[in-house]
Structure 1
Amino acid sequence: MSYPATLPVLPIELIEHALDYLRGDPKTLATCRLVCRAWTARARYNLFYIIKLCMSNTPRFIRAVERDPSAAYAVHELTLEGMWNNPKRMSTCPWTANLRTLRLHFMDLHSPWLPKVTQPATNSLTELSLKTCALLDTQELVRFLQLLPQLKHFAASHVIIRARDDVPEKEPIEAFPAVQSLCLWGDCRTGVPLRLLCAFTSATGGLESLSVLTIKLRTRELVMFNDLLMLVAANLRELALTVQPDDSQTSPGSASPLSLSACRRLSSLKLDVWLLYPGPPTHRGHLNWVVDFFASIRSDDVRRIQLDVRANRATPCDLAELDWGGVDRVLSLARFASLRRVVVRVKQVGVDLKTRVEPYVREQMAVVEAKGILRCVQTDSV
């Protein structure tokens, strides 16, 4: 029995579900919108769901919003890249009223676009990320975030701060949003990730609800980070820490500059370190703190630990720079009974190490290996 061509072969619910997977593919969605009337509404909704605006495509987007203002309310994820011009012809309708995610690339917080975008989204915006953006100082960013009370996730990568010194606000206008996830990344030689974390914790109500923290630091910054970590440790469940070595050293047997004893709810930990100091080969001891760092864990709910080791320029003899056996002894203690997975990723593996890394790690971490929870991965890339 043949059905009329006007009837859908599949239920419309399945078709709409399939169209949802095309978000971020404007060419395909534009074609789907023309297939039939039943597809038009959902395809148009997904077409405007994820929008990326730059100087070249902004006029076309403005014309589309002016033709169909209702479609603009479908914008949930917006990326602004290099928007320095003045949005003179922007539609007066609050087209970002349903905005959930905002990404700013190569922008300044003084951009005239930001008030147009963020003011209608004050009560809807939950995720914000900055990439290669310029700030006058850290307090400029704090004041900007204080205007977004529903913000839950914030990420900053390669942010440029013009001022050298940070002066905290004496009388903050608004409380800092209850951020749950925080990612601070970039060139840690500038100290920007730590400066931002310091500014956030100093703000009124800053980071009291933080549960996920990703940050990149230098070895010399671990002591100051330890003090800041105490302020956010109460609800912290996931910590991803990248430590880039510098000329500071810790002697064997000395206390670790960083302790996780206050992170009683920690369930996932990722540590990313360099096997070799990127300087003179005579400089040793930059990883002496790692074993004590793991030993400082006091949470009874740690289920996953990942250790990433960058082995750029390393030889087989350099594998001993990290006390793998010491890490194995710590993770074999009774308080790590809830541990379900230990992942060791050795990255940037050279030709000399390709056949030696995995056997060496499994031999040095024999107790964890015997428990069946060790996974060793080696890769050529970062």
Structure 2
Amino acid sequence: MPVVPPELCDYVIDYLHNDRKSLTACSLTCREWVPTSRHHLYCEVLLHKPQLFIAFKRLLQAHPVLGCYVRVLKISRLEKAGSADLAQIEEVLPILLRYLPNLGSLGGSLLSTSASILRSVPEETPVTELFLQYCDFPALEDFARLFYSCPRLQSLALCGLRRLVLGRDVDYASVIGLLLRGGHHRSIHSLSVTLTSEADAYALSVLLENIGESLTELDIEWHPMRPGSNVVFLPSSLRIPSTVTVERLTIRSAISHAYSTPWVTSLLSAVDPARLRTFALEIRLLGELDALDWKTIESILVPEQFRSLREVAVKINIWSGVHMDQLSVRNLMRHYLPRLHSKGMLRFAS
């Protein structure tokens, strides 16, 4: 009986790369066909149910050699998984990855509420390609933990990046530079930032200059680490380009005994009002409401150029030590903003 050369057998099996049933049959035919069959069977693994994580872990523990064939791991569509399932996945995922020494590509897709599981990726993962599509991380730190766990990373693809939240203790220049170099800023519709320095403000200005008209929601808090005086001015390096015409603007500010906050009115004046429909003001009240120039705020919002404005939403968080309640604060707000109140535009959020 003639013998078929091994390289010709491999060539034939390669044609079956999408036929799992035939590949399984080939892997059971003879010992020589096993490596090529397993290469196609396990090269790419998709985990889209909590049960699959457990099953795959058991398979690898029983047959560790199978993990050497895995080159691509995709995690997708876990939106129906409960909190207990996600906690279990977060525990199992690091174990799985230790069995995959040749893993080159890691992908997460449509993890709208479950991207936090990816923060459990262990350090020194051999991944060189990271692909994330419509993943909602609870905090930037979770994404950063994933990013830095892949020291060999050569390619980063972020698709569907629509909302970006940057809090304190974030290296704004590095994160924004990464976004701009990869072109990941183009799809951002919602941006929330907490600025603590002029350097942060400058980096934000660069990002806003590049985002342009795609941005519809902007949320800014300016909380300088070293104010230097009892007046908090708008950062001199912060520029809101004319191409940014948001529909919702949120300003978050603390009001204390020692400081006045003219930066709020300065920022409000700098925003193009063409599309602005909602202005939201969130205040942490540690002192007197008079620290804000309410008359100027109303004078900015009432004129004709703000004709698209439909709502002014105010949220006051009263800190302990301030001898006021929500009812008295709201009555004061109606007194400070009489024209907005009379137009029915003033809303209070709890």
* Shared fold, TM over 0.5: yes
Is the contact made by 1:256 and 1:293 (CA closer than 8 Å) also made in structure 2? Answer: no
Q: 2:97 aligns with which of 87, 92, 95?
A: 87
Q: In terms of Rg, which structure is larger? A: 2
1:27-52 per-residue CA deviation (whole Å, 9 max, x = no partner) reads xxxxxxxxxxxxxxxxxxxxx85649
Corresponding residue for 2:204?
225
Is the contact made by 2:194 and 2:222 (CA closer than 8 Å) also made in structure 1? Answer: yes
- Structure 2: how far apart are the matches of 1:294 and 1:145? 41
CA gap 1:64/1:357 in 2 versus in 1, 3 angstroms: farther
Is the contact made by 1:142 and 1:199 (CA closer than 8 Å) also made in structure 2? Answer: no
Query: What percentage of aligned pairs have identical amino acids?
Result: 16
Corresponding residue for 2:303?
333
Q: 2:163 aligns with which of 181, 197, 220?
A: 181
- Structure 1 alignment gaps of length 5 or more: 1-47, 67-71, 154-179
CA gap 1:49/1:107 in 2 versus in 1, 3 angstroms: closer
The number of residue pairs the alignment matches comes to: 276
CA gap 1:141/1:198 in 2 versus in 1, 3 angstroms: farther
- Structure 2 alignment gaps of length 5 or more: 1-46, 62-72, 80-85
1:294-336 per-residue CA deviation (whole Å, 9 max, x = no partner) reads 011214111111110011xx24xx2111112211111112111
What is the root-mean-square deviation in Å for CA atoms of aligned residues? Answer: 4.5
- Structure 1: how far apart are the matches of 2:192 and 2:297? 22
Give the Å deviation of 1:105: 5.9
- Structure 1: how far apart are the matches of 2:150 and 2:211? 19
CA gap 1:245/1:255 in 2 versus in 1, 3 angstroms: closer
Greater share of residues in helix: 2
Is the contact made by 2:251 and 2:264 (CA closer than 8 Å) also made in structure 1? Answer: no
Corresponding residue for 2:267?
293
Counterpart check, 1:260 vs 2:225? no
- Structure 2: how far apart are the matches of 1:112 and 1:261? 41
Written as runs of structure 1 = structure 2, the 5 A alignment for 1:1-382 is 51=50, 59=54, 62-63=57-58, 75-77=76-78, 81=90, 84-85=94-95, 87-89=97-99, 99-101=109-111, 102-104=115-117, 106-107=119-120, 110-112=123-125, 122=131, 125-127=133-135, 129=137, 131=139, 132-133=141-142, 146-148=155-157, 151-153=159-161, 180-185=162-167, 188=168, 190-201=169-180, 203-218=181-196, 220=198, 221-248=200-227, 257=236, 258-276=238-256, 283-285=258-260, 287-311=261-285, 314-315=286-287, 318-350=288-320, 352-354=323-325, 355-378=327-350
Is the contact made by 2:195 and 2:201 (CA closer than 8 Å) also made in structure 1? Answer: yes
Is the contact made by 1:256 and 1:290 (CA closer than 8 Å) also made in structure 2? Answer: no
- Structure 1: how far apart are the matches of 2:122 and 2:110? 19
| 1:302 alignment partner, SS class | coil
Is the contact made by 1:86 and 1:113 (CA closer than 8 Å) also made in structure 2? Answer: no
- TM-score (ref. length: structure 2): 0.62
Is the contact made by 1:52 and 1:81 (CA closer than 8 Å) also made in structure 2? Answer: no
Is the contact made by 1:104 and 1:133 (CA closer than 8 Å) also made in structure 2? Answer: no
